[in-house]
Structure 1
Amino acid sequence: MAICISGCGIKTENISENIKINFTDNKLGYNYGQMLIVAASENKIITNTYSEAIWDCYIDRENNITYRDNFYNDLKNYYKELVVLKKIADKNEITLSEQEKAKALKLSKTFYDENLVNREDFSGLSQEDCDKVFLDYFLVNKAKKDLLEKNVKEVSDSEARIMEFHVIEVSDFDLANSLLERLNNGENCVKLATQFSESDSISRSIALDTEPDEIKNSLGVLEDGGVSPILTNKGKYVLYKCVKSYNEEATKKNKQRIKDERESAYLLNLYNEFIQENPVEINESELKNVCENSSVTLSGRDFFTLWSEEENGGI
């Protein structure tokens, strides 16, 4: 299930589990109604997507965890991450421009006009209260984006390159030498692999960045049709014949994978440094009250849908 409240942009797993925030002591600055904006929005998305029946279904029956339990935990993590990113933004002097503020305030007014006619459900939430929720969300996303752009190295095509090979693995060095000679004389690699290889995996897509240096350096210089020298891997002698020296689509996906890993590693280190200097605890009763009332009806567009439409040009 894709949880929208990961919208702070934090890609790392289990980071929030190590961040303890006390909403009261550490002055999150949100009242009950403000916290309910995010909770009610995510509740609406999940219910509309899966129906009311989803809430009591198990996502982990062995540990007795339902979708409702998972929702509560995600909401808790959202606020943990929000607090940390706000403080990090302040520390790095990251602020919103007037144009960015205007965009956030426009979305806030839309949300307020469409959803908060019945203000009792939100404990008299004012337009200014609503504005703060939208401004903070815009700020933490900007902070994350700015910090990643400045501190995370770009991924080059060369380091993300995916190559396609036919592969032969044997245990006998003399046989490997014989097969290398036959490959260099133009014999069909697939036929030889079918006859001699001790591995059923003949066709392989290989991400060079994940391979040991010896293999990476030997394979990286091959062009289409090229044959590697004899390489060793886990006690086997291995021959590679290059089928495609650059798989564009696979390389694009691998590039994104490496980028995500680098960003996650950077953010994890950033958060760990923060919580070591700022150990805090969460006010569970305050959060529980918000979660238990998150099924309040939103008559208009929810918080996350408004942001998504804005990012996609109003569509």
Structure 2
Amino acid sequence: MFIKDFSKVAAPLRRLTREDVLWKWDEKCEEALRKLRKILGEEINLKTFNYDKGSGKIKLAIDSSYIAEGAVLMQEDENGKDRPVLYESVTFSRLEFKYSQPKLELCGVARILKKLQTILWGKHFELQLDAKALIEMINTPCLPNAPMTRWVAYIQPFSFDLVHKPGKTFTMPDWLSRRPKGEDKEESEMDDFDEEEDWIKPHPGFGLTEVNTIKVGKLSRNKTNNIKSPIKQEGFGKHMQEYFNSLQKPQSIGEEYLNKIKRRSVNFYLEGGQLKRRNQAHPQIFVYNEKAWKQILKKMHKNLGHTGQSRKDIGGKA
């Protein structure tokens, strides 16, 4: 904890600790204690977030460097003074580290909001940024870059007012954005914002029906267990399957990739030799095979996408 002019403020109290000084609590000691209490109690300690109606305005200051994204969440107290609620810093992944500065700034805002979603969702707040170009990007409904468009689509549903802050006065989030990565493996191997798992979501089933009638045929549930032979996996799927079979590191991967496999293994399980995802309403077989992808998509396109000139019957298989 840093206190400006601490030595000067605490001098009367420190003087009492000397062996050659007679203990005497005077007005100077009382004043020094009062100042320290004020600093520790009002200017440094974090404020408890107040969700009550009519509470102080919420402010989120965000700034990026090439290393990390820094943020300070603040709320006005009864005197209209901004009090910090929490400090946040998110380091960028290896992929994000290569982004241009404008793209990095936008990605950082999306990552901070994603991390603070449970706090800010449904609350109106003031979003403070020091980059005017970033403000224009957030206000743009469609950007030429697909990842940036996705980030803006994630940011816009939040309720906020954009406020530009000059860089010289934007010190708090700035130094948080320069925090280097720690030694913690979970942080050093953090996935990037857009990293998604490759999987095909099966539909529980399709039935046959006529378009011009309200009568609907009986739907039969499609059972993914009908696939008897295990799908030959590639890449991530292959390594995950090998890990489940032996609970040892596959020979073809390194320690860093193994940690990624371990983190994600809680979302998968093996059943009858098939790699499947957990926590889904319907059984889902995980497919990581380019040839299998093409076959499945071609079959779905043929059975579901093309209805021909006659649209009387619509059918398909999941």
Normalising by structure 2, report the TM-score: 0.23
Q: Which has the larger radius of gyration?
A: 2
More helix by share: 1
Q: Which has the higher contact order (CA 8 A, sep 6+)?
A: 1
